Structures are given as structure tokens and as C-alpha cells.
């Protein structure tokens, strides 16, 4: 809980801090990576850093947390914290690193806001930071404990037992723990981080959703090769996985993480609606496979949009899984339909003519513009916002208050 004195000071300075967040975070990361370059090796995603995406995510989350505390000093915005805690766990953030971030973040705030940061103002924002950090550290410790991990010890080696080309752009890797031990517990909808050494020697992490059922000893990830851009360096992990990883090779994976999961006790008996576009199909296929593996009687509706049937990764598997469920159907939309899917609808996803089950748990994943459009259509069709869970394949810039 934020003290009354701190709340008054944070309220008075929030507009100044919020207005200068871009500059504060630019200085913060600049100084931190200058003094601690090892944090860019195997922890921070350098493409997110270069594009500014992660910077905005961190800055936005602290401002959102402070505003939420001011509105209601006794509660904490759990959805926001939970997503960050899961991401931190999947990249192996350790408790001591919160002190490093604190040092550089507060150094940057003092530099940018100058005299406005009196000792009292600094102490008030300190309180906000440590309330947030404390809540995150607590959640991260709990997640590690649940997964049987020591904090910071998230990495294991996995052997690629099968590599399968799904579409011209998409490859799946089926994986088994290389150490012969049991696979860690995972929940349908979760992701893992994959850690690879790039050609320049720097390690990079990227997250990939589990695209097969998490019920057995094997796990699968399904990776779309990101189109190269001529104006940025060639450091893509997806490119490296496509070009270099073959059957029999080993990959380093984190324990599973992610809070957009199918078996949330709050909606475990409700119908399920899975809405995706492009490579956003991966967590949906994992959830469908889990429903099949557990013999679920839940009504299921799969809605997917893609460029064409040939570009639709895991299409045949999705059809097969739907056929194996007692009460499931699928509707596909293609910009360029083809004979492989004669019943598919043409164009972008349009939920106008689709009957949605009442009181369903809805899962959404795909490019941000697609998710915004789909969410709007779902809400117009009467689905309450609290029933829609979404996974973003990048830093979440879609939190309340930051959505465009
Ligand atoms: C929870 C989660 C689950 C995910 N699940 C999947 C999944 O199941 N399947 C899947 O394929 N992907 C998934 N992703 C996305 C995946 O993690 C990677 O982001 C994706 O593979 C791209 O990584 P990359 O290293 O290949 O490209 P990056 O190097 O990260 O590049 C990404 C983009 O940034 C641009 N970029 C790179 N460097 C710069 C620069 N210097 N300046 C400006 N722009 C730059 C690139 O051109 C490219 O457009 C998931 C992401 C998350 C967060
Ligand atoms: C109170 C302090 C912190 C806050 C508010 C915070 C906030 C965030 C947010 C909002 C994200 C993006 C989550 C998403 O994917 O949507 C994130 C990711 C991340 N955070 Fe933190 N963070 C904090 C502390 C730390 C610390 C101490 C470290 C370690 C030095 C760290 C390392 C990372 C990394 C590596 C990622 C993933 C980056 C990426 O993939 O680009 N964070 N954090």
C-alpha cells in the first residue's frame, strides 16, 4: 500500500514523470547497458531495444502501476504484474537485478527532471518502485517454486527429435529433454524462451508458444521466419533456427511461462473460442491438442484468418483436432482462398455471420491490428471484455491506457 504522503507527491509529479518517460528510459537503458553490457548478452532482446518496444513497455508499466495505486492504494493491478512476472521468469531475471535497474532508473529520473526531484519526491517514487518490484519478486519466486526451479536457473537443454516444415515460412521443432529427466510441467497456452548464440557471439532470447499438448514428455515450438529488412542488422533468431537447427541438434529452453492459459479455474467449464491470425495459431493449437488429450467435453469454436491455406501453419492438424472433439467447429478466412479449404470464407475475419457460444472463454492471438479489430467485433457481438484473454508476440503495448 502506498503511504498518504507518498501518494500526494506521486500524484503531483506523475504528469512530469509520465511526460518525460521516453527520455528517462532512453537515459536509463543507455547508462545501464554502458556499465553492465553483460545484460545485453542472454537477457535483453536487442531487437526490442533497437526498436524501442521494450523501453516503452517498461516505462508504460511503471506509469500504469503508479496511476492504479493512486486510484486505489490498497490493490495491485494483477493482470499487468502477472504478465511481467511470467516474462521475467521465462528470461531468468534475478532478485539482485532489481537493485541494478533501480540504480540506473532513479539516476535517469534525477538527471531528466533535475531540481523537481527533491529528496521527498525521490523517496515517494522509490516507494512506488519497490512496491512494484516487491510484488514482481514475490510472484516470480512463486512461479519458480511451482515449476520446481531455483530463481535464475531456468535453462535446460532439449534435443530436436523432429523438424517439420509447415509452410514455406514456418518450421516446427519437436523437443525432448536432453538430460533424460522429466519435462517440466506446462499449461496449454504457455510459451518458452529459446536461448541461442548469434554469429557475433552474443546470446539472444526469444519466446515461442508451445504448439502441441503439454501433457506428455515432448514439447513442440512452431517458428515463423521473420522477413528480413534491409535497414536493420541480420540478427534474427527465427532466421537462425530455420537455417541451422536440424534433427538431433540441441536447443536451450527456459521453463514454460505465461498467464494466458486454458485451464484457468475461473472458466474451466465454459465453452472455448480460439481466435487467431497468422502465426498466432500456435498457442491455439496447443490448447486444442490439450482439450483432445484430456477428452474435454467443452464446446469449442476455432476462428482463424490467414493469407491463404498454403500459408496457414498447422491447418490440417487443426482440422484433425477439431474432428476429434465431441462439440467443436472451425471457421477459416483467407485473403486468397484455395481448393484445399472449399468452405473457407474470403477476406479478413468478419464475425458478423458467426454464432458465438454464450459465456465463452475467448483467447486471442495474432498481429496487433488484427487483435484490435477482432476484439472490437467480439465486444460488439456481446462478449464482455473480461472474458477475452490475449497473447501478444512482443512486449505488451496494448495495456489499458496505452492502447491506440
Ligand atoms: C509470448 C510470446 C510467444 C511467441 N510465440 C511465437 C510462436 O509461437 N511462433 C513464432 O514464430 N513467434 C512467436 N513469438 C515471436 C518471437 O518471440 C520472436 O519475436 C520472433 O521469432 C522474431 O524474432 P527474431 O529474432 O527472428 O527477429 P528480431 O531480430 O527480434 O526482429 C523482429 C523485428 O524487429 C525488426 N528489427 C530487428 N532489429 C531492428 C533494429 N535494429 N531496428 C529496428 N527494427 C529492428 C526486424 O526487422 C523484425 O521485423 C512469440 C513472442 C512472444 C512474446
Ligand atoms: C520494477 C521493475 C521492473 C518493471 C516495472 C519491469 C517491467 C517490464 C515489462 C513491462 C516488460 C515487458 C513485458 C511484456 O512482454 O509485456 C518487461 C520485460 C523484461 N524485463 Fe523487466 N521490469 C522490471 C525489472 C526488471 C529487471 C530487474 C530486469 C533484469 C535486469 C528486467 C529484465 C527484463 C527483460 C529481459 C524483459 C524481456 C525483454 C524483452 O524481451 O525485450 N526487468 N519488464
Q: Which residues line ligand 2 (CB under 6 A)?
A: 39, 43-45, 48, 54, 57-58, 61-62, 83-84, 87-88, 91, 93, 97-98, 101, 129, 132-133, 136, 395-396
Q: What CATH number labels 155-254?
A: 2.40.30.10
> Using a 6 Å cutoff on CB, does residue 47 contact ligand 1?
yes
Among candidate residues 29, 104, 127, 140, the one labeled active-site is 140
Pairing of β 170-177 and β 156-167? antiparallel
pLDDT of residue 27: 93
pLDDT of residue 102: 94
Task: State pLDDT tens for residues 162-213.
Answer: 999 999 999 999 999 999 988 988 999 999 999 999 988 999 999 999 999 9
Spatial strand order of the sheet with 361-365 comes to: 345-346, 328-334, 300-306, 272-277, 361-365, 388-391
- Among all bound ligands, the one having the nearest atom to the CA of 48 is 2
CA distance 254 to 89: 9
Among candidate residues 98, 104, 129, 208, the one labeled active-site is 98
Q: Classify domain 4-147 at the CATH superfamily level.
A: Globins (1.10.490.10)
Phi, psi values for residue 300, rounded to 5°:
-135, 135
Angle at 260 between CA 257 and CA 264, to 5 degrees: 105
pTM to 2 decimal places: 0.94
Residue 105 near residue 28, CB atoms below 8 Å: yes
Gap from CA of 320 to ligand 1 centroid (Å): 29
Listed by start position, the domains of the chain span 4-147, 155-254, 265-391
Question: For ligand 2, atom 6, which residue shows the shortest CA distance?
Answer: 58
Question: For ligand 1, atom 52, which residue shows the shortest CA distance?
Answer: 393
Torsion sign across C-alpha atoms 377, 380, 381, 385: positive
pLDDT of residue 357: 96
Question: For ligand 2, atom 39, which residue shows the shortest CA distance?
Answer: 45
Q: What CATH number labels 265-391?
A: 3.40.50.80
All residue ranges of the chain with pLDDT < 70 are 53, 150-153, 228-235, 395-404
CA distance 191 to 211: 9
What cell was used for 290?
490439450
Amino acid at each position: 500500500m502506498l503511504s498518504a504522503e507518498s501518494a500526494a507527491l506521486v500524484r503531483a509529479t506523475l504528469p512530469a514523470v509520465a511526460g518525460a518517460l521516453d527520455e528517462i528510459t532512453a537515459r536509463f537503458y543507455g547508462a545501464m547497458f554502458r556499465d553492465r553490457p553483460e545484460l545485453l548478452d542472454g537477457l535483453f532482446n536487442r531487437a526490442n531495444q533497437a526498436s524501442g518496444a521494450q523501453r516503452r513497455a517498461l516505462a508504460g508499466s511503471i506509469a500504469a502501476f503508479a496511476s492504479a495505486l493512486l486510484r486505489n492504494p490498497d490493490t495491485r493491478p494483477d493482470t499487468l504484474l502477472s504478465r511481467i512476472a511470467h516474462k521475467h521468469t521465462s528470461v531468468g531475471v534475478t532478485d539482485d537485478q532489481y537493485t541494478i535497474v533501480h540504480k540506473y532508473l532513479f539516476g535517469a529520473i534525477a538527471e531528466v527532471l533535475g531540481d523537481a526531484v527533491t529528496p521527498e519526491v525521490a523517496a515517494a517514487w522509490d516507494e512506488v518502485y519497490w512496491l512494484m518490484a516487491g510484488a514482481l519478486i514475490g510472484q516470480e519466486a512463486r512461479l519458480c517454486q511451482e515449476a520446481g526451479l531455483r530463481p535464475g536457473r531456468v535453462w535446460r537443454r532439449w534435443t530436436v527429435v523432429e523438424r517439420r516444415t509447415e509452410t514455406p515460412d514456418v518450421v516446427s521443432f519437436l523437443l525432448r529433454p536432453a538430460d533424460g529427466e522429466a519435462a517440466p510441467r506446462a499449461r496449454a497456452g504457455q510459451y518458452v524462451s529459446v536461448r541461442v548464440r548469434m554469429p557475433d557471439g552474443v546470446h539472444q532470447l526469444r519466446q515461442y508458444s508451445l504448439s502441441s499438448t503439454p501433457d506428455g514428455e515432448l514439447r513442440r515450438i512452431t517458428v515463423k521466419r521473420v522477413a528480413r529488412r534491409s535497414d536493420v542488422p541480420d540478427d534474427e533468431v527465427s532466421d537462425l533456427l530455420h537455417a541451422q537447427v536440424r534433427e538431433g541438434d540441441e536447443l536451450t529452453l527456459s521453463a514454460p511461462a505465461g498467464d494466458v492459459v486454458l485451464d484457468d479455474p475461473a472458466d474451466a467449464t465454459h465453452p472455448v473460442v480460439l481466435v487467431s491470425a497468422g502465426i498466432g495459431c500456435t498457442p491455439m493449437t496447443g490448447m486444442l491438442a490439450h482439450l483432445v488429450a484430456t477428452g474435454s467435453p467443452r464446446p469449442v469454436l476455432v476462428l482463424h484468418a490467414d493469407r491463404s491455406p498454403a500459408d496457414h501453419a498447422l491447418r490440417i492438424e487443426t482440422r484433425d483436432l477439431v474432428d476429434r472433439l465431441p462439440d467443436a467447429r472451425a471457421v477459416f478466412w483467407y485473403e486468397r482462398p484455395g481448393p484445399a479449404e472449399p468452405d473457407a470464407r474470403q477476406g479478413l475475419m468478419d464475425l458478423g455471420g458467426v454464432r458465438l457460444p454464450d459465456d465463452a472463454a475467448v483467447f486471442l492471438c495474432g498481429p496487433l491490428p488484427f487483435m484490435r479489430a477482432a476484439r472490437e467485433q467480439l465486444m460488439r457481438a456481446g462478449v464482455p471484455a473480461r472474458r477475452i484473454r490475449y497473447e501478444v508476440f512482443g512486449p505488451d503495448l496494448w495495456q489499458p491506457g496505452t492502447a491506440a
